[in-house]
Amino acid sequence: MIQSKSNITKTIGQLFMAPIPGTDLDEGTIDLIKNHGVSKFIIFQRNVADGPERLRRLCFDVKRLCRKNGLYPILAIDQEGGPVRRLRPPLFDDMLSPDDVRKSKEPEKKVVELAESAFRLIRPFSIDMNLAPVLDLCLHGEKNVLKARCLGKDPLRVARLGGLYIKRLKELGILSTCKHFPGIGRVRLDPHHHLPKVDVEKDLIMKELYPFKQAIKSGCPAVMTSHVVYEKIDPKQPATFSHKIATSLLKKSLKFKGVLITDDLEMKGAMKVATHEMACFLALKAGHDLLLICKSPKKVRESISFLQYAIKDAKIPENRIMDAINRVKWLQINKVS
C-alpha cells in the first residue's frame, strides 16, 4: 500500500525502541506513545527495582496505553543469562548462562534449558522479545569484551546451538534477536566506551559470521549490529551506519527478511561518529529498521522530529522508509501477546 509522505512521517515513531525511566508509567513515556506513536520499549534493571508485581503493572500499563492509541506494543529485554540479564536475584530467580552451555558436556541440552530459563523469567511480564542469542565467537576467551556471553569459538558449534535456542524461544512464543552482526568476537575494546576496529580479511569475517547465516536460514526474526568498524568491508563507517554491511551484505547477500536493530545509539561507539539525531538518520539510511535508544526519552523525541524533517526533505529514500515500516509491521504480526 502506497503512503503519502505526511502519513510516513506520522508513523516514524514505530521505528524506535525507547527506554522507560522508572518503575511506573511516567508522563514522558505517555507522551511518546500518545503523541509520537512509539510502541516498542526496552526493559532495564531500573524498571525492575521494585520487584515483580511493580514490573508486571508497568508492562501492563504500557501495553494497554499503546493499544488504546491504536498501536501494537512490543516489550524487549536483554535476558541472555550470565553478566547480561535484567531480571536477576534476589528479586528474581537465577538462570543458566551462555557460559554454562559453552562448558557443558551436553551443550545441546543446556542451550535449550537456557532458552527455557529466559522464558520462565520474562513471560510473566508479557515481554515479547529477548535480545539474545549472542552469536559472536569467543575468540579471545576471558579477555574478550563478551566475557561469559558466548556459546563457543567454533562457528559450526555456535550455529548449531544458536539455532536450537532460536527454535525453542519460537516454540515458547518469544521473539529472538541474533547479535552482534557480523560478529564482534575479535573486538577487544568495548563499544559502550570506544569505537573498535576489526582489521582482518573479508573472507575470515564471512567465515566467522556463519552462525548468523544459519540463523537467518532458520528464520531468526531480528538481527542486531554493533558499533564496530570492519575495515576490509567498510573502512569509513561502523556496522551501525554502513550500507555495505546492513544492506549489501545482510539484507541482499544473505537475504535477511526480518528486522535489523541497532545497538544502543547512546553508546560512545556511536556517539563518537554522530549526534543521536544524526545516528538515527545514518542507521536508518544504511538499512536498519528499528532504532534503539536506551536511556533518554528526550533523545527519542528529538530524533523522531529530525527524521520527520529528513523525510520531508527527501534526505532518505521513500522506499527505504517503507521497507523499514513493513519489516517492523511484520515483527508486530509475528509476536504473540
DSSP 195-244: --EE-S-HHHHHHHTHHHHHHHHTT-SEEEE-S-EETTT-SSSBGGG-HI
- 144 band by pLDDT with thresholds 50, 70 and 90: low
Annotation says 61 is catalytic = no
Residue 44 CB contacts under 8 Å (≥ 6 apart), including other chains: 19, 20, 86, 294
The average pLDDT across 132-161 equals 87
* Per-residue pLDDT reduced to its tens digit, 196-219: 899 999 999 999 999 999 999 989
Residue 141 CB contacts under 8 Å (≥ 6 apart), including other chains: none
The pLDDT mean for the chain works out to 93
pLDDT value of residue 147: 79
- 2 band by pLDDT with thresholds 50, 70 and 90: very low
Contact between residue 54 and residue 60 where contact means Cβ atoms under 8 Å apart: no
| Among candidate residues 153, 260, 140, the one with its CA nearest the CA of residue 189 | 140
- Choosing from 24, 93, 94, 192, which is the catalytic residue? 192
- Strand 175-176 with 129-130, pairing: parallel
pLDDT value of residue 143: 59
- Helix axis angle, 297-312 to 276-286, nearest 10°: 50
- Choosing from 263, 264, 288, 289, which is the catalytic residue? 263
Whether residue 6 has pLDDT greater than 60: no
- 68 band by pLDDT with thresholds 50, 70 and 90: very high
- 33 band by pLDDT with thresholds 50, 70 and 90: very high
* Per-residue pLDDT reduced to its tens digit, 173-200: 999 999 999 999 988 877 888 888 999 9
- 1 band by pLDDT with thresholds 50, 70 and 90: very low
The average pLDDT across 69-74 equals 96
For residue 234, which amino acid is it? D
Grid coordinates representing 7 are 502519513
Q: 133: cis peptide before it, omega within 30°? A: yes
* Per-residue pLDDT reduced to its tens digit, 269-321: 888 889 999 999 999 999 999 999 999 999 999 999 999 999 988 899 989 99
**Alpha carbon distance 260, 168 (integer Å):** 21
Contact between residue 141 and residue 152 where contact means Cβ atoms under 8 Å apart: no
Whether residue 250 has pLDDT greater than 90: yes
pLDDT value of residue 5: 54
Superfamily for the 14-334 domain: Glycoside hydrolase, family 3, N-terminal domain (3.20.20.300)
Residue appearing with cell numbers 508486530:
332
| Among candidate residues 35, 23, 47, 27, the one with its CA nearest the CA of residue 71 | 35
Annotation says 36 is catalytic = no
Write down the domain spans for the chain: 14-334
Kindly write down the DSSP assignment for every residue of 55-69, as one continuous string.
HHHHHHHHHHHHHHT
Q: Within 10 A of 104 (CB to CB), how many other CB atoms are there?
A: 15
